[in-house]
Amino acid sequence: MQPQLLCADGELFTATTTDLRGTKPQISRHFSKDGRPDVSQDSSLSLLHEPVFVSSSLDSSDRKLYFFFSEVGKEFSFVDELRIARVAQVCKDDVGGRSTLQKKWTSFAKAPLLCQSHRQLPFNVLQDVFTLQPPEGTDASETLFYAAFTSQWSSGPESAVCVFKLQDVRAAFTESYRTFNLLTHQWSPQLGKHSYLGKVGRSLSHKT
């Protein structure tokens, strides 16, 4: 686990673990301003599975933060634990829920990052991400994320670099979702179009 610290407008955002054994991952906002409460994840839900955070980035124009990491993909059933490269988003000004999820993220969502050559297994372990801002005066959606990957199946020192545009990351969080069922503690497809998913002040969601 590489703790991620990001300061924005005097507020501190962290992605790290909250226990000495390093088994309880947490994305949180501290020193919240404008009367907003500090927020963190709902510890009763397993939204992150052994994540290794490698980078974070602020999308100022859309007031969102992105955290890049690899984790165990619990939505897959394999003999060996399958690691998945992910990007997670939270809204910078998320205040948590009103009656439920008080002081908890309601805008949290995560999506896979795919780096794969034709007819080859994907490079599924994220090692680092570098954020390249666009030239001054151009659209922020042209921001590029250069991501370095390795593969858990490789027997040698193989690696790859894939580039993702901010506009594509944004688009990933506007498409189909899986949502967490509080009764079965499993992810299931969300049917129909729901404009509130991944937005500030609404439901927990997981991008397919």
Segment 31-44, tens digit of pLDDT? 999 999 999 988 77
Segment 89-147, tens digit of pLDDT? 999 999 998 888 899 999 999 999 999 988 888 999 999 999 999 998 899 999 999 99
CA distance 71 to 173: 19
134-168-86 Cα angle (round to 5): 105
Q: Domain locations in the chain?
A: 4-173
How much is the pLDDT for 73? 85
Strands (E), the chain: 4-8, 11-17, 25-30, 52-59, 64-72, 83-91, 109-112, 125-132, 144-150, 160-165, 177-181, 186-189, 206-207
Highest mean pLDDT out of 148-162, 177-191, 194-208: 148-162
Q: Cα–Cα distances in Å, from 52 out to 12, 23, 84, 101, 124?
A: 19, 11, 10, 25, 12
| pLDDT of 56 higher than 90 | yes
Q: Tokens 């998320």 sit at which residue?
A: 94
How much is the pLDDT for 204? 40
- As its CATH architecture, domain 4-173 has 7 Propeller (2.130)
Q: What is the mean pLDDT of residues 70-83?
A: 80
